[in-house]
Amino acid sequence: MSSVSVILPTYNEAENLPELVERLDKALGGGYEVVVVDDNSPDGTAEVARRLAERFPVRVVVREGRRGLSSAVVEGARAASGEVVVVMDADLQHPPELVPRLVEAARRGCLAVASRYVQGGRVAGWPLARRVTSRGAVLLARLLLREARGVKDPVSGFFAYRRDCVAGVKPTGLYKILLDVLVQCKPVCVEEIPFVFGQRTRGRSKLGRRHIVDFVRQVLVLSRWRPLKFAAVGATGVGVAWAVLYLLGWLPTVFSTAAAIEVSLTTNYLLNRMWTFADRGTPLLGGWIRYHAATAVGNLTNYLVTNVLSLLGVLVYAAYLAGVVSGYVANYIFSELEVFK
């Protein structure tokens, strides 16, 4: 029985595994096991791992006909025996020398995240496009997932936590398993430890465009599709506003538009409160007031766009639709961050 299990998901990492296991052994000394979860790599990674098992406490799990970093990590945690699991890439981009510090924080009951985006952490040698994509991913995760908001690098692939929890996670995406751990395990504390994400010197990255699409889908799933629900509620609000504009057709547009906005704002708020953000327990009146403040920019934009377009001769219903579309994105961001926090 070892108290720490290092989970190494691998796909074509035969060239990196020996150096990694040797450095892990040096860093940890003893009382650990390595669980290699290999998706039947054509380069013979599993064979290399079995040879390493003759000299080190290495176990090998080979999955046939399956791919996916996240599911490999969970299967590794299920096969592991340690109280704490460390999850890391097998390509030496995650320095094994950091593992003892992660383990120490995890033993204290925290989710320990090796972080590229706290003071002292960084990535080495990434082209601008990859930097921007990574920052965008962090931003999206923190905007849509409350559990990720306090974490500077919620999409790191290098972390340590209690095994029982990681083993029970249901992966919602292909490769950002830390997001699942944050949302599904709800750790009481997260400790971020800075590290430099190194460059790959051997083998090649498996990251592709489909992983970006998969990531966006994963964040939407974990957010329980909130942005889409919010948009659906917004669509009902347009119907409500059109009805008000129709009923108040005898009033000047500057007044009927204001009434249409106020009434639909209120129905939108009520629907978002009982559906989109049902889990937040937002107080009825206080939330309604904050919702006014949060949607003020969007509503003002809507009001101006609608009136200007209708002055220019556009049918008021069409003008209103254009106004609503222009305010939607600003509204959503304010609601996430200020109203339903």
Ligand X SMILES: Nc1nc2c(ncn2[C@@H]2O[C@H](COP(=O)(O)OP(=O)(O)O)[C@@H](O)[C@H]2O)c(=O)[nH]1
Binding site for ligand X (CB under 6 A): 9-11, 13, 37-39, 67-69, 72, 89-91, 93, 205-207
- The angle at the Cα of 130, spanning 124 to 131, to the nearest 5 degrees, equals 65
Give the range of 62-70, 91-99, 111-119, 214-222 binding Mg ion by CB under 5 A.
91-99
CB of 8 to Mg ion, least distance (A): 12
Under the binding rule (CB under 5 A), the answer on residue 75 touching Mg ion is no
Which residue lies nearer to ligand X by CB, 206 or 229? 206
Which residue lies nearer to ligand X by CB, 69 or 99? 69
CB of 205 to Mg ion, least distance (A): 5
Taking the C-alpha atoms of residue 276 and residue 115, their distance in angstroms, rounded to an integer, is 31
Nearest CA-CA partner of 340 in 263, 275, 260: 275
Indicate which single residue of 91, 153, 180, 191 sits in contact with Mg ion (rule: CB under 5 A). 91
- Per the structure block, which two tokens stand in for 258? 């204001």
Which residue lies nearer to ligand X by CB, 26 or 66? 66
Residue with tokens 């290092």: 6
* Number of residue whose CB is nearest ligand X: 205
State in Å, rounded, how far the first CA of the chain is from the last one. Answer: 43
Which of the choices ligand X, Mg ion, none does residue 25 contact, using the CB cut-off of 5 to 8 A by kind? none
Which of the choices Mg ion, ligand X, none does residue 180 contact, using the CB cut-off of 5 to 8 A by kind? none
* Ramachandran bin of 225, using left for φ above 0, alpha for ψ from -120 to 50, beta for the remaining angles: left
CB of 13 to Mg ion, least distance (A): 9
CB of 70 to ligand X, least distance (A): 9
Which of the choices ligand X, Mg ion, none does residue 37 contact, using the CB cut-off of 5 to 8 A by kind? ligand X
C-alpha distances in angstroms, 86 versus 67, 80, 101, 109, 190? 20, 11, 11, 14, 14
- DSSP at 337: I
Taking the C-alpha atoms of residue 277 and residue 340, their distance in angstroms, rounded to an integer, is 7
Three-class SS of residue 217?
helix
CB of 106 to ligand X, least distance (A): 20
Q: Is 179:155 a contact under the CB 8 Å cutoff?
A: yes
Could you tell me where the DSSP H helices lie in 119-161? 128-144, 146-149
C-alpha distances in angstroms, 88 versus 47, 150, 178, 319? 20, 22, 11, 53
Which of the choices ligand X, Mg ion, none does residue 67 contact, using the CB cut-off of 5 to 8 A by kind? ligand X
Q: Is 158:192 a contact under the CB 8 Å cutoff?
A: no
- DSSP at 14: T
CB of 200 to ligand X, least distance (A): 6
- The angle at the Cα of 315, spanning 311 to 319, to the nearest 5 degrees, equals 75
Which residue lies nearer to ligand X by CB, 62 or 297? 62
Kindly determine how many residues on this chain lie close enough to bind Mg ion according to the rule CB under 5 A.
3
Number of H helices, E strands in the chain: 14, 9
Indicate which single residue of 41, 71, 93, 253 sits in contact with Mg ion (rule: CB under 5 A). 93
Which residue lies nearer to ligand X by CB, 67 or 280? 67
Which residue lies nearer to Mg ion by CB, 91 or 180? 91
Q: Which of residues 107-136 bind Mg ion (CB under 5 A)?
A: none
CB of 171 to ligand X, least distance (A): 12
- In the chain, the amino acid numbered 186 is K
Which of the choices Mg ion, ligand X, none does residue 207 contact, using the CB cut-off of 5 to 8 A by kind? ligand X
Residues that bind Mg ion (CB under 5 A): 89, 91, 93
